[in-house]
């Protein structure tokens, strides 16, 4: 299951990179609710979670 998710995420990231010219480091806009749930569920630091999800470096911005 996890391999399918990672494969799908890589395909989506590659599509947006080629189609719209997105490139690393990806700039990700996060709201407080998203960050709160990461901390509440002890999933790790937001930087690490999003970097592993996108398989690329990320820069976080909050609202």
Residues 3-35: tens digit of each pLDDT: 788 889 889 999 999 999 989 999 999 999 998
> Is residue 43 assigned to a domain?
yes
Rounded Cα distance between 47 and 63, Å, is 16
Alpha helix (H) residue ranges in the chain: 2-20, 32-40, 46-54
> Is residue 18 assigned to a domain?
no
Determine the structural domain holding residue 29 and report its residue range: 24-63
Considering the entire predicted model, what is its pTM?
Answer: 0.74
pLDDT in tens, 46-59: 899 899 888 889 99
> Is residue 1 assigned to a domain?
no
Question: What's the total number of domains in the chain?
Answer: 1
Contact between 26 and 54 (Cβ < 8 Å) = yes
pLDDT at 1 over 70: no
């Amino acid at each position: 299951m996890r391999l399918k998710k990672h494969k799908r995420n890589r395909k989506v990231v590659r599509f947006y990179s080629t189609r719209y010219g997105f490139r690393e480091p990806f700039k990700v806009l996060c709201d407080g609710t998203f960050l709160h749930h990461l901390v509440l569920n002890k999933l790790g630091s937001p930087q690490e979670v999003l970097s592993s999800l996108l398989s690329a470096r990320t820069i976080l911005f909050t609202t």
